[in-house]
Structure 1
Amino acid sequence: MITGELKNKIDKIWEIFWTGGITNPLDVIEQFTYLLFIKQLDDVETTKENEANFLGFEYESMFPGDCQKYRWSKFKNLGSADEMYDLVLNGVFPFIKNLHQDGDSAYSKYMGDAIFKIPTAAMLSKIVDGIDNLGIGDEKDTDTDSKGDLYEYLLSKVATAGTNGQFRTPRHIIKMMVELVQPNPDDVIIDPAMGSAGFLIEAQEYLRKYHEESFYDEAFKEHFANHMFYGNDMDRTMLRIGAMNMLLHGVDNPNISYRDSLSEQNKDVEKYSLVLANPPFKGSLDYEAVSADLLKVTKTKKTELLFLALFLRILKKGGRAAVIVPDGVLFGSSKAHKQIRKEIIENNKLDAVISMPSGVFKPYAGVSTAILIFTKTGSGGTDKVWFYDMKADGYSLDDKRQEVSENDIPDIIDRFKNLEGETERERTEQSFMVDFDEIKANGYDLSINKYKEIVYEPVEYEPTDVIFGKIEKIESEIQKEMSELKKLLEL
């Protein structure tokens, strides 16, 4: 989370944009991201140069020859603001737009129409100084997701955040979901509502951490760079941010598309082995354009239900999904709600339902949500479903979202990885198993409160005659005081 001094520094940069005439929040985020990307390219370049020098091999720079002057560390020290502005406008910005000149990569597709909008040299100079002072990407910056936190804070300033779904899923929630499904080197991973690519970034981080040996294999490296990661979004700004984000994390050619995942233009069927997503819960929907295949599964205008139908369609047999849904999906009584729950539970394999507290997405939204984890089988397989009642995620559940000691996430991951030990848990505990037959008998209701047993502490009251005695005594005292009050008033 962005707090304290860093928050104040970002606010000052935002104010520079605002007073300089760039008042559309998404324009601010986009221009901010371009400059942050330029700085991070230089940071990555410096790291690779140092590694090459240490190992004693020749390094082929991404800033060839005369392009060295386009590095952040070079142009930020130019003598005048005008000189720097001219170089960034006519040199650096065209350079980053054309980094991948094949025309087919996600980066080249969505950077092609990028526009540098900072109007004056003085404004650019102030912003460059401000970003340089943030410390993001420096050696002192030990927060592995400072960049993601920065995006989250910037997106919180967008007036429409939470209305059209344009806000970032908290990194610790993404990380937990990735830990639960454990991506492997053979996976083909998609987020059909990708935003700034947070789920894809975390999936590749997981692979680097737990499958380091695979990165020595040329076939895997080619798969990783070109065929492993997919994402769709309807916002070109987010696609640009996502493409830059992936490139900085070593995924050279992610398959990122400007596409309405729910529409007929999305022809994907049984293509992916892992879905990670937090699809939009509300906002505009072009019902006429929704794919007929999805409406056959659940005839509805609710995007959260249509996305679940989409996940089932695009997953390969044996493919897994970890997705966030609003609580209404779990217990909604409409025909569409019941249809999609039945499809997941009866015709596929529902593994887990993790109910999250309503504060998880504050300050953007206060809706209660849950994580569904399921496997596509096409032939059933749900035997028992694991339920977990998350009460704390390591942050306060108010708008401030400050760090607290209470955190169920490590316990969730540990218990999910050891489900054989969950079968004997009582319904009064924080997690427990529920049989398929019981869920079916309850209309496929997945609300944890439907199955959780609450232990009520017995309350012992005094005997009735004692209680009445006390009431009579109080009544007598009231009458006595009323009588005294009347005498005083008569005086």
Structure 2
Amino acid sequence: MITGVIKNKIDKIWTDIWAGGLTMPFKVIEQITYLMFIRSLDQKEINNEKKAVMFKRRGIKSQVDMIFPASEAGQSMRWSRFKDADPDVIFNTLRVKVFPAIKEMKYGMLPDFDENGEVAVIADDPAKENGVQSAFSRFMKDALFELPTAEVVTKVITGLEDLYQHDIEDQDMQGDIYEYMLGKAASSGTNGQFRTPKHIRDMMVELLAPTPDDSICDPACGTAGFLISAAEYIRGKFEHNMSDEQWAHFQSTAFSGFDTDMTMLRISAMNLMLHGITHPVIDYKNSVSEKNTIDSEYTVCLANPPFKGTVDVETISTSLKAVTNTKKTELLFIALFLRMLKKGGRCACIVPDGVLFGSSKAHKAMRKELVENHTLQAVISMPSGVFKPYAGVSTAILVFIKTGAGGTEDVWFYDMQADGFSLDDKRSEVQENDIPDIIERFHHLDGEKERKRTEQSFFVPKQEIIDNGYDLSINKYKEIEYVPVEYPPSEEIIANIEALELEIQKNLAELKDMLKE
């Protein structure tokens, strides 16, 4: 989590930009994001160079595509080459070379410059994704480099370099930084958006266990955390056994994400590119509107959709309202997952507790749809501190399969009480962690059949859920085992009270005597 020293360093970077005259919060976030991306490109290039040297030493003929052109102008765009230069050199390099080049990025490579110093646009290459432009480049087209002076740029680069060298441990911490900056912009949460912690995302991915052949979508992708967790899982499980066709799919059509925030789209495209996904399907889209017509396209959906507020009823897709006639986004997104998934497709999504027991017609209709017309596999109740310090809402994870023909028999419930971190705003690491147990039990559900309702996980038959109005809250079914407490006889209790009273009277008398002296 972003706390203490790291917060102070980010605040300092923010203040330096603000003092330079750029005060609009999202503009500040965008400019910092661009510089983080530019630095990350150089880090990725260093890894490419190491890989090329390793292949050469081993006599392996493998072409490693470099990001930066080999020319002097191309190499001068690398963060490691300009970060320690004079302020004016840094400012001009970014404004005249790096930023224009990034806007023309293609196939994960930056373009070179012609003899006039102009960007030489990379030609379309049918051998490389048929000339498809990278998602980040698409969303950068209208972006502007707005850091006002060389002095401000130098301060920001110095601050970021300090963060990366001393504080940023991994790729996911960048996501924590984005989230903290969103909080500073006083906009985090206005649409119910807050970042899902990586260990929760990873758990949800492991529950669904995606393969290289899956098509994975998050229709409320934010910073693309779920897509990145899915990509990391697939790499970890299948990297050495993937065919050329599967790698091509992995780098492009395997991952799709939609959002209504252009800043988030730029961030998500950047994140995916840095994870080897050069052409993800990242697009600006109001997922629950009529304009989103995607139907039966994906095999996996992973999401933490917005909870708060409602949407304009006139824009809501009629196909979603047919399932649950509501303006509540948390219900509409569940209907959306069912529509976007292919038959047999799997979904793991986070919902507020109200979805599980809400008494409105829309709530009941949505739960009935899952239980009666598809296969609801699991309801995992999470403690309210999971999303602190950003939010303290109580949530659950729904895991289901789209069938269109029912299939729910017994629903597995799990009462998660610990996720490996303290449940306060500090979110310090602790030993108590139910996540490994959840994953292990979910993948071996046959062993759960005999579990009692007093235990942390258990099955509930479909008919019992129907009889309870399709209520999916774990407290409806969990049994609390009361241990009887044996008290001593009344005579003994009275005798003890009398003895205490005598002791009190004795002490009071001694105190009065001391005061007389």
> SS of the counterpart of 1:440?
helix
Correspondent of 1:240 among 263, 266, 284: 266
Matches of 2:39 and 2:22 in 1, distance apart? 21
Which residue is equivalent to 2:116? none
Correspondent of 2:379 among 344, 349, 353: 353
Which residue is equivalent to 1:187? 214
Residue 401 in 1 paired to residue 407 in 2? no
Residue 202 in 1 paired to residue 207 in 2? no
Correspondent of 1:118 among 141, 147, 161: 147
Matches of 1:263 and 1:110 in 2, distance apart? 21
Q: CA deviation at 1:106?
A: 2.1
Matches of 2:74 and 2:16 in 1, distance apart? 28
Label 1:257 to 1:476 Cα distance change in 2 as closer, same or farther (>3 A). Answer: same
- Is the deviation greater in 100-109 or in 323-332? 100-109
Matches of 1:77 and 1:143 in 2, distance apart? 23
Which residue is equivalent to 1:54? 54
Q: CA deviation at 1:164?
A: 1.4
Which residue is equivalent to 1:72? 79
Matches of 1:122 and 1:480 in 2, distance apart? 78
Matches of 1:333 and 1:391 in 2, distance apart? 26
Matches of 1:396 and 1:474 in 2, distance apart? 41
Correspondent of 1:373 among 388, 391, 399: 399
Q: Is 2:139–2:262's contact at 8 Å kept on the other side of the alignment?
A: yes
Runs (4+) of structure 1 exceeding 4 A deviation are 57-60, 101-104, 462-481
Q: Is 1:316–1:376's contact at 8 Å kept on the other side of the alignment?
A: yes
> SS of the counterpart of 1:370?
strand
- Is the deviation greater in 234-243 or in 92-101? 92-101
Label 1:383 to 1:75 Cα distance change in 2 as closer, same or farther (>3 A). Answer: same
Q: CA deviation at 1:98?
A: 1.1
Q: Percent identity?
A: 58
Deviation string for 1:293-330 (max 9, x for gaps)?
11010111111001111111111000000000000000
Alignment of 1:157-306 (within 5 A): 157-215=184-242, 217-306=243-332
Alignment of 1:308-457 (within 5 A): 308-457=334-483
> SS of the counterpart of 1:133?
helix
Matches of 1:348 and 1:366 in 2, distance apart? 31
Matches of 2:405 and 2:485 in 1, distance apart? 50
Which residue is equivalent to 2:68? 63
Q: Is 1:155–1:167's contact at 8 Å kept on the other side of the alignment?
A: no
> SS of the counterpart of 1:127?
helix
Which residue is equivalent to 1:7? 7
Correspondent of 2:156 among 118, 122, 127: 127
Correspondent of 2:103 among 97, 108, 112: 97
Matches of 1:229 and 1:103 in 2, distance apart? 15
Q: CA deviation at 1:403?
A: 1.4
Deviation string for 1:337-381 (max 9, x for gaps)?
110001001110011000000111111111100000000111111
Deviation string for 1:153-201 (max 9, x for gaps)?
3233231212213321111110110111101111111000000100001
Matches of 1:229 and 1:143 in 2, distance apart? 21
Q: CA deviation at 1:472?
A: 8.7
Q: CA deviation at 1:31?
A: 1.0
Q: CA deviation at 1:465?
A: 5.8
> SS of the counterpart of 1:268?
coil
> SS of the counterpart of 1:176?
helix
- How many pairs are equivalent? 482
Matches of 2:390 and 2:313 in 1, distance apart? 26
Matches of 1:465 and 1:160 in 2, distance apart? 64
Matches of 1:284 and 1:331 in 2, distance apart? 19
- Is the deviation greater in 20-29 or in 174-183? 20-29
Label 1:445 to 1:60 Cα distance change in 2 as closer, same or farther (>3 A). Answer: closer
Matches of 1:442 and 1:20 in 2, distance apart? 60
> SS of the counterpart of 1:371?
strand
Residue 23 in 1 paired to residue 23 in 2? yes
Which residue is equivalent to 1:488? none
TM-score by length of 1: 0.92
Matches of 2:492 and 2:66 in 1, distance apart? 89
Matches of 1:428 and 1:176 in 2, distance apart? 24
Opposite residue 68 of structure 1, the aligned amino acid is Q
Opposite residue 417 of structure 2, the aligned amino acid is K
Residue 39 in 1 paired to residue 39 in 2? yes
Label 1:12 to 1:382 Cα distance change in 2 as closer, same or farther (>3 A). Answer: same
Matches of 2:407 and 2:248 in 1, distance apart? 34
Structure 1 residue runs without a partner (length 5+): 482-491
Deviation string for 1:232-278 (max 9, x for gaps)?
10000000111111111111111111010000000011111000000
Label 1:336 to 1:113 Cα distance change in 2 as closer, same or farther (>3 A). Answer: same
- Is the deviation greater in 67-76 or in 472-481? 472-481
Matches of 1:128 and 1:463 in 2, distance apart? 75
> SS of the counterpart of 1:380?
coil
Which residue is equivalent to 1:150? 177
> SS of the counterpart of 1:135?
helix
> SS of the counterpart of 2:342?
strand
Q: Is 2:310–2:328's contact at 8 Å kept on the other side of the alignment?
A: no
Q: Is 1:17–1:28's contact at 8 Å kept on the other side of the alignment?
A: yes
Opposite residue 173 of structure 2, the aligned amino acid is S
> SS of the counterpart of 1:406?
strand
Q: CA deviation at 1:452?
A: 0.5
Q: Is 1:85–1:120's contact at 8 Å kept on the other side of the alignment?
A: yes
Deviation string for 1:424-451 (max 9, x for gaps)?
1111111111111111111111100011
Label 1:329 to 1:219 Cα distance change in 2 as closer, same or farther (>3 A). Answer: same
Matches of 2:160 and 2:236 in 1, distance apart? 29
> SS of the counterpart of 2:350?
strand
Which residue is equivalent to 2:92? 86
> SS of the counterpart of 1:156?
helix
Q: Is 2:309–2:328's contact at 8 Å kept on the other side of the alignment?
A: no
Q: CA deviation at 1:68?
A: 1.2
TM-score by length of 2: 0.87
- Is the deviation greater in 280-289 or in 14-23? 14-23
Q: CA deviation at 1:117?
A: 1.4
Q: CA deviation at 1:3?
A: 3.6
